[in-house]
Amino acid sequence: MNEFKRHRRLRTSAAMRALVRETQLSTDDLIYPIFVIEGESIRREVPSMPGVYQVSLDNLSEEMDKLVELGIRSVLLFGIPKEKDEQGTQAYCETGIVQQALRKIKQEFPQLITIADTCLCEYTSHGHCGVIHDGDVDNDASLPLHVETAISQAKAGADIIAPSNMMDGFVAAIREGLDNAGFKHIPIMSYAVKYASAYYGPFRDAADSTPQFGDRKTYQMDPSNRMEAFREAASDMEEGADFLIVKPAMSYLDIMREVKDRFNAPLVAYNVSGEYSMVKAAAQNGWINERELVMEKLTSMKRAGADLIVTYFAKDVAKWLKEE
């Protein structure tokens, strides 16, 4: 009786399953986000993100030591300034909190890859990602400030610039600005496909970046749209992007797969704060096996085409991979 296939032959043991495993998750795939806050002696847990902290510069080295010990090689930096204004001037100030953090990390941990999130929302008094004119974000007036921010971050030692503002033409403007400032060698990791998602809620607690009026739906993408994602990614590639980010990840694996198939560039999945917090809440209530669920979720992102994953689970995953 040979009229059916014996697929179970390749599942008979853990060793056999490992032998034929198609998708592998590695510590090298992980990018860990860090929230650096102005002040002293601060290591403050984000209430909606258990295990994630805002850290001041004097506690940053300790945090970095932990990452190095775990084998995590890449970090994504967000800044929380003491003072905010309409123009977000602390985003592009030479002594801004992210610029100080970049210098410190590159001096003490030169082997690590530092990625600077390039946006204004954490620095503006209104919480939006650009300059406000007549109650709306002025696209073209915002671009020079994003360029200035990117250049200041590159000067401070950023290995990669990651603009997340979703202004039209932001990659072209930043690429030109970096090139003219002598940073032709610095790549751009573009938040090319960034949806206006409800999954971002806890991040806004961590980064203190909640909009003070309205929302971001006029510049971030409608979650209902698929083809728009490819138009956005194509524009960013034409303008000089070196990496493409899809954000969020979990509800957009279909988009991720198609972006990977259509564009020849490293693809980054952003496993966002809401995805993290839901798992942590369920785990704290004993409803799920956190380790198994997280590993399955991140593996699904790799299977969908992600080359790299930005995730708040990076330290947990690195520990689990070491144990394996």
Annotated binding site: 119, 121, 129, 204, 216, 232, 273, 312
Annotated binding site for Zn(2+): 119, 121, 129
Q: Residue type at 218?
A: T
Annotated binding site for Mg(2+): 232
DSSP assignments along 20-76, one per residue: T------GGGEEEEEEEESSSS-EEE-TTSTT-EEE-HHHHHHHHHHHHHHT--EEE
Angstrom distance (rounded) from CA 301 to CA 213? 33
Q: Are 235 and 191 spatial neighbours (Cβ–Cβ below 8 Å)?
A: no
Angstrom distance (rounded) from CA 273 to CA 89? 26
Annotated binding site for 5-aminolevulinate: 204, 216, 273, 312
Catalytic residue among 84, 247, 302, 315: 247
Q: Are 36 and 97 spatial neighbours (Cβ–Cβ below 8 Å)?
A: yes
Q: How many CB atoms lie within 10 A of CB 115?
A: 26
Residue corresponding to tokens 């004097």: 58
Q: What angle do CA 53, 56, 62 make, to 5 degrees?
A: 75
Catalytic residue among 104, 194, 260, 302: 194
Active-site residue flag, 247? yes
Residue corresponding to tokens 């510069």: 57
Angstrom distance (rounded) from CA 204 to CA 225? 24
Residues known to be catalytic: 194, 247
